[in-house]
C-alpha cells in the first residue's frame, strides 16, 4: 500500500492522506508513457513531488481512466494534497511505499 503525506522542507509532516493506493490493484495498470508521474510510483519506494510537479500530477489525475483505476475518493484526495503543496511554501507531496 502506498500512503501519501505533505511534508515541509525539513521533513515535518503537514498533512496525511487518509486513503492508500494499492499498487497491485490500480497503479501497475497505469500507462507510464501516458501518465509519467503516476507511472513512476513504486510499491516499495518513496517518491516526492514539488509544487511544479504536482500541477502535472493533477493533470494526470483529471483523466477519467485514471480516476476509474484509483477510485474517485483517492483521486480527489491526491488533488487536495497537490493543491495544498501548490498553495504553500516549501511543501512536497510524498508517496510512501511499504
Q: Which residue has the cell 510499491?
A: 43
Supply the range of the domain harboring residue 66: 3-96
Domain count, the chain: 1
Note the pLDDT of residue 98. Answer: 83
Closest CA to 79 of 97, 61, 92, 53: 61
CATH number of 36's domain: 3.40.1760
pTM of the model: 0.93
Instruction: Work out the number of other CB atoms within 10 angstroms of the CB of residue 74.
Output: 20
pLDDT at res. 22: 87
pLDDT in tens, the chain (98 residues): 899 999 999 999 999 999 888 888 888 889 999 999 999 999 999 999 999 999 999 999 999 999 999 999 999 999 999 999 999 999 999 999 98
Amino acid at each position: 500500500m502506498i500512503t501519501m503525506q505533505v511534508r515541509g522542507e525539513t521533513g515535518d509532516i503537514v498533512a496525511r492522506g487518509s486513503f492508500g493506493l494499492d499498487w497491485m490493484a490500480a497503479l501497475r495498470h497505469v500507462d507510464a508513457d501516458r501518465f509519467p508521474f503516476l507511472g513512476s510510483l513504486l510499491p516499495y519506494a518513496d517518491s516526492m513531488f514539488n509544487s511544479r510537479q504536482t500541477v502535472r500530477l493533477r493533470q494526470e489525475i483529471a483523466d477519467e481512466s485514471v480516476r476509474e483505476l484509483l477510485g474517485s475518493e483517492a483521486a480527489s484526495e491526491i488533488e487536495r494534497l497537490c493543491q495544498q503543496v501548490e498553495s504553500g511554501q516549501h511543501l512536497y507531496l510524498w508517496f510512501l511505499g511499504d
